[in-house]
Structure 1
């Protein structure tokens, strides 16, 4: 696929054409790039079903990918997907390597220092799970145990008891589990893979998004959900700081998808229920 970043004389020529042929050039660098190249580059995870994953046709698919494709469509752009590590995405300072993250990211205070969150697009419960052979029946049964989470995720922050979610409409939560050991992994799937090896083999339990756990169970993983949700996450589209025009455009599109039912339809398609409201 063609490189999105124009260089040298080509960049100068493109800028000159934009300024002379368009009566209203876009002020924001990211928005300008997306609208001029007609390409929106998404950072995504190929191993995070049902949010984002490689399907049987070796194509990226899932709820998050569907949302991103619709955002690109409403911008009049094609969607390009890259797959950097989660920690790199949440660190900000993307440098134009990608334009947007539709990756079920919680807009925490720490992340807001390096990223902007134009719009919340759905909410999801965070749940504890154990191997199906475990005697655990409640979250309290995991006190003092080895619990796996994805590194840099809100689930790790929850277990460290320093999770801050200050997005509007976030339900209150309490810290009900004190892990004996917190083991971090690159993705939630890696956590599930270790838990499936047996009760206590490598992990005693995990904390992840309930839809992710449900998808694993549907695919034959020998795990089960225990207790009530630990907390509910508002999940937002994220963009790099420094382009308020791009943020405003994304917010406008996502709000429109809420209003016309597009997000609800995508949620029902992938989760079997409407997760686009905290009600």
Structure 2
């Protein structure tokens, strides 16, 4: 198995809030004058966000947020958010920025603003070395009536399966541990998901896993700010450029995932 493709975590799709009036975001000068930056981080998506041994929110996102605050010469306040309330927290001015695998989509871009990409997510096929109904060596092998796929409801793998593996048997479950349990117990043969969402739970099951080398799709993940908060967004873009230029993002990624990003962020000074 190619170790460069085994890593990852999380990003379940969040329900979008209804369009409507939002509380006014704190302008950049207020963040600087109060010397406080409020960052929303989801601690249930390890290693992007997690609780450490002191029950404090830590992880890749927290390290990035701390470095952003340091470069802005302000204190960081980490606010716990979940996937469904990330955008509402921005819109209600409970946080200034949001991390937590907030994948760039048109739907979200209608209600929040994004920075340049912080990292990517790469959709891959996870299966087992042995014990599948048929050998699975390429994504095309999934489109077989004998193949049993298991998937978390609402994840990016579901539409891919509908379009590319329509003949397979598909079971939808509510969470990743249940999916991995089904795979480990031989009740399913494979799943399709972003690598960043599967590496942590797969380590909890003593199975000889196999991740296919082909990347089915790549997704771009930025930092979210409230719609129209351009001064803050532009400062964040400059900081993110420096974090990519100096290698801070990649070093922090490998610290938590153990391998480089499957799809690297292109080095680009323009935003």
TM-score, length of structure 2 as denominator length: 0.71
SS of 2:215's equivalent in the other structure is strand
Unaligned runs of 5+ in 2: 1-23
Could you tell me how far apart the structure 2 residues matched to 1:251 and 1:150 are? 33
Select the structure that is richer in strand: 1
- 1:214, CA displacement in angstroms? 2.5
Aligned residue for 1:183?
Answer: 172
User: Among 191, 195, 211, which residue is 1:210 paired with?
Assistant: 195
Map Cα deviations across residues 88-118 of structure 1 (whole Å, 9 max, x no partner): 3256862101121222222112221112111
The counterpart of 1:118, out of the listed 115, 118, 128, is 115
Q: Deviation per CA, 1:178-228, whole angstroms, max 9, x where unpaired?
A: 36546364xxxx313442244465x65433332442333334464724432
Give SS of 2:223's match. strand
Please provide the CA RMSD for this pair.
3.1
Alignment of 1:29-108 (within 5 A): 29-90=26-87, 94-108=91-105
**Under a length normalisation based on structure 1, what TM-score does the superposition of the two structures give?**
0.69
* Counterparts of residues 164-175 of structure 1 (less than 5 Å): none
Distance 1:231 1:213 in 2: 15
Q: How has the CA–CA distance of structure 1 residues 38 and 183 changed in structure 2, closer, same or farther, with 3 Å as cutoff?
A: farther
Deviation at 1:255, TM superposition (A): 0.9
Separation in 2 of the partners of 1:196 and 1:268? 27
Instruction: Tell me how far 1:244 sits from its aligned partner.
Output: 0.7
Counterpart position of 1:147:
150
Distance 1:34-1:182 versus aligned 2 partners, 3 A rule: farther
Query: What secondary structure does 1:270 align onto?
Result: helix
Instruction: Report which stretch shifted further, 131-140 or 32-41.
Output: 131-140
Distance 1:133 1:86, change over 3 A: farther
Alignment correspondent of 1:11? none
Measured after TM superposition, the shift of residue 250 of structure 1 is 1.0
Cα contact 2:90–2:98 (8 A) shared by 1: no
User: Does the CA contact (< 8 Å) of 1:92 and 1:240 recur in 2?
Assistant: no
1:106-158 deviations in Å (ceiling 9; x for gaps): 2112221112111112223222224676505243454464532364x544554
Change (3 A) 1:92 1:126: farther
